[in-house]
Amino acid sequence: MQQFVTAILVITVGGLLAWLTGRLKSLSVVIGTGSCVGGGLLALIPATEILMSGGQAAEIVLNLPLGAATMKLDAVSAFFSLPVIVLGSLAAVYAAATSHYDKHECGGYWFFYCLLMASMLFLTASANAVLFLMAWEIMSVAAFFLIIHRDEIASARNAAWRFLVASHVGTAGLFIMFAIISAHCGSFEFACFTRTPVSAETASLVFFLALFGFGVKVGLLPLHVWMPDSYAFADAHVSAVLSGAMSKMGFYGLIRVLMFLPVHSASWGWALAFGGLLTGVFALITALAQHDLKKVIAYSSMENAGIIMMGLGCAILAGIWKVPALAFAALTGSLLHVLNHAACKGLLFLGSGAAYFGTGTRKLEAMGGLAKTMPYTAMFFGIGAAAISGLPPFNSFISEFMIFLAGLQAARLGTSSALLLAGVILAGLGLIGGLAMATFSRTFGLVFLGASRSDKKVEPRESDWLVRLPMAILVLVIFLLALLSPFILIPVARVASMIAAASGVTFTPENAMLNIQPVMIAATISFFFMLFVVLVWRLRSRFFSGGDVNDRCTWDCGFAAPDARIQYTSSSFSQPVSEVFSSIVRPYRHGEKVAGFFPERASFRTDAPDSLLRYLYVPLFGLIDRAMVPLRALQHGRLHLYICYLAIVLLALLIWKVVAA
């Protein structure tokens, strides 16, 4: 535990030093990166120790001015600190490697980056509501400053502002939630929360407040609107950390709250399952219509949050139905998916950053053909894209497979509500998987295949080895997570059983074996499949590499003079799917119709801003804005009257107190 706290301190102090040395850019970068990587390694040791030994949680009691507060590193905290540690350090290396692209002063940037990482580690280790909320606030504010780094762009400012508003609205929910629980037990310590039983109504209120507060961070359906823009306008490594690590903190919080409440209610499970389903499907059909590379990836992170939520919902319902095997599959699957998604999403965001530095744009319409000039980035991005779509033999397949297994087990229970749950999970995961495939084949195809759509004559160059190193490590992590999944499942199952034990569900070894066995098979098949691919690749390069290697236009289609413009565009590729869901996505269509026998001009372009933003939040906030106009009279900027308000309130309070006495 001391080591963990030291790591947090190292990162914070490193951030401060990087800020102070901001003028000497290279020194600041070295200090920032060094502290993130060093602190990450330092924190990794106790975290893995606790996960592997399954053992004793370490505690440390801080004597703060307003009472003692506990910091505690148990298996759940250690598990959720893993994505922070790994992605935080890798993204720091990536940021250092790409820092020469950045013309801004970087001291403050590194300070907030280190602060973000330190606050997330602090968050996972805090076992006190006040510490938790403090860490949560620091995390949100640090993330805000990272997003607004490119503040010369108006949209970036808007995105960061939206993030700040959304996260504070969410935090308000968390404040109320913690206030309710602490009022019940009279202390802010988590240990006290778990001991104190609350009534069913209060428990439901607490859960839904938590779902609201943490849902903002994970991107639950109507609360996700900050996500696409913020991830798009933040730098690649920042988006990687935000999506891979920070949004996972929402799940961490949700799981903690579930552990406080021993008796769960079925409505929570259904809310999570249906919320997850809607989130996943909505995210992907919107992602299909996006033209910004990073927005596509941002929506996909929302989709994965949906999958994890479905798993959690299923686990809650299984706990209520007293089916431990089902709870095991769902809970372990969703926990594993947290790790898998962090690895894939980190890789994809870093890859998108490399593509951005290569081409200077994030617009899919202006990319294309990068596989020829940036082969490594293309390979890494391709692996990430295949992995996140849940394709075997990669890691997300394993975790989605476990949630599938949960669905199949639910189907065998036979009761009507279990069948409904099975339907939600099986059909939902099927639909989400298919849409994810479509989204990522489109993205990969548009960015890396075909010919360049850009008018610029500058040839994109492959990035440096130091930029590729974090991506290569993440690819390695993906392979390890896939191939070693049966072994990784053992500590994950320990975490899951700790979570389940809080609500009185105990897993037997048979429950575990029932679910780990299919995973073992899947991992073995994945291994042989990878072996097969590698062998075929070797054979191909050995025997067929001497063939026709002329460079041809990819989309020839029998034209005499093919041209990059006859390729599929991002609008046209997704048009068939978007058309089906157009009532939900409601894309704007621009362009001129084809008219006459020999049309001279025709164009078509779709544009799909988030429909919930357009149809829910803009009218809603417009309404609030109009309703608040009369109050503007109070906010006039005159100092005298402000003091007058204060004086009147003070006097009124005094008189009230005196009269009441």
Nearer to other proteins, 101 or 642 (CB): 642
Site for other proteins in 578-637 (CB under 8 A): 635-637
Find the shortest distance in angstroms from Cβ 647 to other proteins: 4
Cα-Cα-Cα-Cα torsion 154, 160, 165, 166, nearest 10 degrees, comes to 120
| Residue 330: CB atoms within 10 Å | 34
Site for other proteins in 5-64 (CB under 8 A): none
Type of residue at 653 = L
Among 549, 627, 629, 661, binds other proteins (CB under 8 A): 661
Find the shortest distance in angstroms from Cβ 649 to other proteins: 11
Question: Judged by CB under 8 A, does residue 655 bind other proteins?
Answer: yes
Give the integer Cα–Cα distance in Å for 549 and 349. 32
In 3D space, the residue among 512, 335, 326, 312 whose CA is nearest the CA of residue 408 turns out to be 326
Beta bridge pairs of residue 69: 62
- DSSP letter at 243 equals I
Which residues, 6+ apart, have CB-to-CB distance to 217 below 8 Å?
Answer: 167, 170, 246, 247, 249, 250, 253
Tokens of 118: 């330190």
Indicate if the alpha-carbon torsion angle 166, 171, 172, 176 is positive or negative.
positive
Tokens of 655: 């008189």
Contact range with other proteins by CB under 8 A, out of 184-192, 305-313, 563-571, 638-646: 638-646
Nearer to other proteins, 161 or 376 (CB): 161
189 in helix, strand or coil?
strand
Provide φ and ψ at 187, rounded to 5°.
-155, 160
Check if the beta carbon of residue 110 is closer than 8 Å to that of residue 235: no
Beta bridge pairs of residue 605: 590
Find the shortest distance in angstroms from Cβ 656 to other proteins: 11
Contact range with other proteins by CB under 8 A, out of 152-160, 196-204, 508-516, 649-657: 649-657
543-580 burial, b at 16+ Cβ within 10 Å, e below that, comes to eeeeeeeeeebbbeeeeeebebeebbbbbebbbebbee
Question: Judged by CB under 8 A, does residue 263 bind other proteins?
Answer: no
Kindly determine how many residues on this chain lie close enough to bind other proteins according to the rule CB under 8 A.
18
Give the integer Cα–Cα distance in Å for 492 and 128. 24
Nearer to other proteins, 458 or 650 (CB): 650
Give the integer Cα–Cα distance in Å for 453 and 436. 24
Find the shortest distance in angstroms from Cβ 140 to other proteins: 25
Among 644, 649, 652, 653, binds other proteins (CB under 8 A): 644
DSSP letter for each residue of 62-99: EEETTEEEEEEE-HHHHHHHHHHHHHHHHHHHHHHHTG
Question: Judged by CB under 8 A, does residue 647 bind other proteins?
Answer: yes
Nearer to other proteins, 631 or 659 (CB): 659
Give the integer Cα–Cα distance in Å for 288 and 585. 10
CA angle 117, 299, 278 (to 5 degrees): 115
Give the integer Cα–Cα distance in Å for 54 and 556. 58
Find the shortest distance in angstroms from Cβ 646 to other proteins: 8
Nearer to other proteins, 101 or 645 (CB): 645
Nearer to other proteins, 588 or 645 (CB): 645
Find the shortest distance in angstroms from Cβ 640 to other proteins: 5
Nearer to other proteins, 547 or 637 (CB): 637
Nearer to other proteins, 602 or 644 (CB): 644
Helices (H) and strands (E) in the chain, counts: 26, 4
Contact range with other proteins by CB under 8 A, out of 301-309, 339-347, 363-371, 640-648: 640-648
Among 542, 552, 601, 640, binds other proteins (CB under 8 A): 640
Nearer to other proteins, 66 or 659 (CB): 659
Question: Judged by CB under 8 A, does residue 557 bind other proteins?
Answer: no
Nearer to other proteins, 623 or 655 (CB): 655
Find the shortest distance in angstroms from Cβ 164 to other proteins: 18
Contact range with other proteins by CB under 8 A, out of 69-77, 198-206, 208-216, 641-649: 641-649
Among 104, 588, 654, 656, binds other proteins (CB under 8 A): 654
Find the shortest distance in angstroms from Cβ 218 to other proteins: 35
Find the shortest distance in angstroms from Cβ 147 to other proteins: 22
Type of residue at 362 = R
Question: Judged by CB under 8 A, does residue 652 bind other proteins?
Answer: no
Question: Judged by CB under 8 A, does residue 643 bind other proteins?
Answer: yes
CA angle 354, 360, 361 (to 5 degrees): 95
Question: Judged by CB under 8 A, does residue 641 bind other proteins?
Answer: yes
Among 651, 652, 653, 656, binds other proteins (CB under 8 A): 651
Find the shortest distance in angstroms from Cβ 657 to other proteins: 9
Provide φ and ψ at 73, rounded to 5°.
-115, 100
Nearer to other proteins, 103 or 657 (CB): 657
Nearer to other proteins, 560 or 658 (CB): 658
Nearer to other proteins, 458 or 643 (CB): 643
Using CB under 8 A as the criterion, which residues of the chain lie in contact with other proteins when the complex forms?
A: 635-641, 643-644, 646-647, 650-651, 654-655, 658-659, 661
